[in-house]
Amino acid sequence: MSAHATLLSAAFQGIEGLLVEIEVDVGSGLPQVVLLGLPDTAVREARDRVRAALRNEGYEFPPRKVTVNLAPASVRKEGPLYDLPIALGILAATGQLGLDAGTRLEGWAAVGELSLDGRTRPVRGILPMALAARARGLRGILVPRANASEAALVKGLDVVPVARLSEAVGHVTGALALERASPPVLDDGPRGEAEAPSPDGDVLDLADVRGQELAKAALEVAAAGGHNVIFTGPPGTGKTMLARRLPGLLPPLQADEALEVTRIWSVAGLLRPDEPLVRRRPFRAPHHTVSDAGLIGGGPHPRPGEISLAHRGVLFLDELTEFGRRTLETLRQPLEEGRVRVGRAQGTLEFPAECLCVGAYNPCPCGFHGHARRPCACGELARARYLSRLSGPLLDRFDIHVALQPVRPEDLAGPPRGPTTGEVRARVEGARAMQAGRCGGRRRRLNADLGGRALRAACRMGAEAERLLQRTAEVHALSARAQTRLARVARSIADLEGAEAVETRHVALAAQMHAPERAPPGGGVAREAAREARILDRRVAPALG
């Protein structure tokens, strides 16, 4: 004669949660635990963890054949998150939870790893699993205490934190009244505290960057329009310093954006129990030895890569030419589409990847090509071979290219000058408000996403601006895609000024932020037009007046 019990747990695929039905059958046969439903190694090890936890908590582990089925069987089950529901299922099937255990478990899910002494341990992916439980119409979910704040982000779902298996049993039997977890506050935080913190906790202010006015203007334009940026220049010119200040120029995360980012970080297992909600724009800076899967996601059991962990924030690729060429080429589609698709035999998973990408590299192997005071030791052939690591199609994904020169000693002296991060962020928010107004506020669409008819409608130009754009394209042999990038950047510059139409000065400044490897910044047609017009806006680029 056998006893049977069924309860719900959860899992996730990509960043989407799904419910898993756990069936436990205790019947005659040799004492053993059989796990069905495509379990991985961590799931199969649950038999030993659950046996030890039950005995150490004072419960009986049946000396019979225990069969555990995890449905749907077509989905691979990963990780130790099924320990708690399997233990509750065994107790329910053997009558240790009372005769009406099935009724009390109805409408509830349970997730959690168990230690050998019965304590619960946190697991990753709680947020998407809690979202799946709410979508299924469940009343609540039992989770490890360390995951409770994260699960409580989901409104309309009772989240019961349990520290031990015995607490979960007490809740199910009604012998113990456990408090529901309270969600953290989903606000945007004080506006003045949105600057990105450095690794040592200091606030990074754009005003602390000396010189490099064109590069600082480029960061402002990039933040306003969502443009990817490349900095090139000798070592010590401030490429990394500039990139680390970009997250602070972006508007604070809205509540729905924070939940998007938190769900990705939850699946990656990067959330801290004391900080269950990602409140700041992410900044990810992977080392150049990162693998393809580490950068864009994937692996045997697909997980989000660095570009997805930077969703709604900044991905910084320092020493860009040192990355593997194949690894860099995998970025082309995600940078274009804002998402990563990982194909497997079981299906295709999607990870969001809408981030600003900042690349930085030296102009040659020795790093001093074009340096005003230090000669370059590389030949033209070595330099060409070095730069060939960056393909044209990849560079086409970057709207802004700026070449940096060393800062002059006199610029390093004295107090910080120029706008602060907060002042620039206020202008960026105004520019983004204009972009939202053009799309009717129905969706967040930045200038970097515009193309075709939408770009033509947004980027209205006067006759002089149109002529300058065409002349720049002719002189520098720009492709159609490059001309589109130039128009996008010019539109963002105009938005920063609050201008409805794109004018000559906006195109001129956009040209100075375009492709320094092919046309020196500030040279040629753009500088000529800017000098003749004498109308470059000092608020946007104070060094170009």
Q: What is the mean pLDDT of residues 335-364?
A: 89
Distance, in Å, from the CA atom of 459 to the CA atom of 165, rounded to the nearest integer, reads 62
Q: What is the mean pLDDT of residues 116-134?
A: 96
Q: Looking at the domain assignment, is residue 439 inside a domain?
A: yes
User: What are the backbone angles phi and psi of residue 312, rounded to the nearest 5°?
Assistant: 65, 10
Q: What is the pLDDT of residue 2?
A: 59
Q: Looking at the domain assignment, is residue 168 inside a domain?
A: yes
Q: What is the mean pLDDT of residues 119-142?
A: 95
Q: Which of 145, 173, 201 is the last residue of a domain?
A: 173
User: What are the backbone angles phi and psi of residue 39, rounded to the nearest 5°?
Assistant: -80, 145
Q: What is the mean pLDDT of residues 508-526?
A: 58
232-279 pLDDT, tens digit per residue, is 999 988 899 999 999 999 999 998 999 999 999 999 999 988 889 999
> For residue 92, which amino acid is it?
A
- Say what percent of the chain tops pLDDT 70: 89
Q: What is the mean pLDDT of residues 372-392?
A: 89
**Is the pLDDT assigned to residue 534 strictly greater than 50?**
no
Least confident stretch, 193-202, 220-229, 518-527: 518-527
DSSP string over 148-172: HHHHTTSTTSEEEEESBHHHHHHHH
Closest CA to 245 of 214, 281, 218, 206: 206
Q: Looking at the domain assignment, is residue 59 inside a domain?
A: yes
Q: Looking at the domain assignment, is residue 488 inside a domain?
A: no
**CATH number of the domain encompassing residue 71:** 3.30.230.10
**Is the pLDDT assigned to residue 192 strictly greater than 70?**
no
Q: What is the mean pLDDT of residues 429-449?
A: 82
Contact partners, residue 141, CB within 8 Å, separation at least 6: 10, 108, 109, 110, 111, 129, 130, 133, 151, 157, 158, 159, 160
Q: Looking at the domain assignment, is residue 310 inside a domain?
A: yes
Higher pLDDT, 410 or 11: 11
96-115 pLDDT, tens digit per residue, is 998 787 778 899 999 999 99
Q: What is the pLDDT of residue 283?
A: 96
> For residue 324, which amino acid is it?
G
β strands within 320-368, DSSP E: 339-344, 347-352, 356-361
Q: CA quadruple 478, 479, 481, 484: dihedral positive or negative?
A: positive
Q: Looking at the domain assignment, is residue 244 inside a domain?
A: yes
Distance, in Å, from the CA atom of 380 to the CA atom of 369, rounded to the nearest integer, reads 10
Least confident stretch, 440-454, 471-485, 501-515: 440-454
> For residue 342, which amino acid is it?
V
Q: How confident is the model at residue 309 (pLDDT cuts 50, 70, 90)?
A: very high
Q: What is the pLDDT of residue 413?
A: 73
Mean pLDDT of the chain, nearest integer: 86
Q: Which of 125, 143, 173 is the last residue of a domain?
A: 173
**Is the pLDDT assigned to residue 439 strictly greater than 50?**
yes
- Can you tell me whether residue 107 is helix, strand or coil? coil
**Is the pLDDT assigned to residue 524 strictly greater than 70?**
no
> In terms of domains, do 162 and 277 share one?
no
Q: Looking at the domain assignment, is residue 525 inside a domain?
A: no
> In terms of domains, do 396 and 253 share one?
yes
Token pair 């044209």 in the structure block, residue = 392
Whether residue 516 is preceded by a cis peptide bond, meaning omega within 30 degrees of 0, is: no
> In terms of domains, do 437 and 305 share one?
yes
Q: What is the pLDDT of residue 186?
A: 57
**Is the pLDDT assigned to residue 414 strictly greater than 80?**
no
Q: Which of 426, 449, 472 is the last residue of a domain?
A: 449
**Is the pLDDT assigned to residue 201 strictly greater than 60?**
no
**Is the pLDDT assigned to residue 340 strictly greater than 50?**
yes
> In terms of domains, do 254 and 160 share one?
no
Q: Take residue 497 and report the two structure tokens written for it.
A: 């000024």
CA distances from 434 to 400, 440, 466, 485 (A): 21, 10, 22, 19
Determine the structural domain holding residue 82 and report its residue range. Answer: 3-173
> In terms of domains, do 397 and 284 share one?
yes
> In terms of domains, do 318 and 404 share one?
yes
Q: What is the mean pLDDT of residues 213-217?
A: 91
**Is the pLDDT assigned to residue 533 strictly greater than 50?**
no
Q: What is the pLDDT of residue 158?
A: 95
> In terms of domains, do 316 and 387 share one?
yes
**CATH number of the domain encompassing residue 333:** 3.40.50.300
Higher pLDDT, 259 or 345: 259
> In terms of domains, do 149 and 218 share one?
no
**Is the pLDDT assigned to residue 440 strictly greater than 90?**
no
82-94 pLDDT, tens digit per residue, is 999 999 999 999 9
